[in-house]
Amino acid sequence: MQNKKIQLIDDLIQLATNKIQFTIDEILRDTFERPTGTTCIYAILFEDCFKSSTLRQIIIDQLLALWNTWEDEGFRANQIRSWKKFSDEERLIVQRIWNYVGEKAEKQYQIDSLIDKHRREMDEKIQIKEKITKCLEIYCQNACDKQLYLDLFLEMETQLKSEIVRSIKIPNEIRILQPLADRLNPLEKLYAWKTFLAENRRRKHFVTIKNLFRLIFYAFR
């Protein structure tokens, strides 16, 4: 009789969960974007009473599809930003959910590794943008083509808010300035620079950004 009661409860749970449907946006929200341990999805994944539920397998399959998409295309910048802002508790919830999915799919790594890979790629692009922006503000305030570069940075800034990180390209015009910025930024406070820049400002000498080469040669004479 006890076994029949348990079977009846399982059947009722199965019938009830078969009526539930989640959109992919709801699944993504509850398992990654705004994770908590009190959602219906979290309960279905980890409560024993749902272990034989068809809905649990459906959710796992949809999560795995998301994981495979992240592997192929990468994360969006806003998803990486959210991850970086998560509390320890939120990260533990994300890790528990997605590593559970990874185990079911026999993935050879945990979700943290995939996130960190794309986080490093995003941080590198942000650092390049910030480093060269600083360099232009310090050494090229009167450059005649400065606005061109500021427009390129503005476009990058827009992309770094929501686009897929892997799809964000650093324009060649910016890329070629990277080694110059690496050498120039540490020299910001040298007296020779201040003297040179003050003299050029007095002359109102407008140059192109690429004339940073000339400044480098001056600095290392």
pLDDT, one tens digit per residue, over 92-135 is 999 999 999 999 999 988 999 999 999 999 999 999 998 888 88
- Measured between alpha carbons, how far is residue 26 from residues 19, 31, 33, 143, 194 in Å? 16, 8, 10, 49, 56
Buried b (16+ CB within 10 A) or exposed e, 102-131: beeeebeeebeebbebbbebbeebeebbeb
Task: Give the per-residue pLDDT at 137.
Answer: 80
Full 3-state SS string of 89-108: HHHHHHHHHHHHHHHHCCCC
Task: Give the per-residue pLDDT at 141.
Answer: 73
Q: Which residue has the higher pLDDT, 59 or 183?
A: 59
pTM, 2 dp: 0.76
The string of pLDDT tens digits covering residues 37-92 is: 999 899 989 988 778 788 888 999 999 999 999 999 999 999 999 999 999 999 99
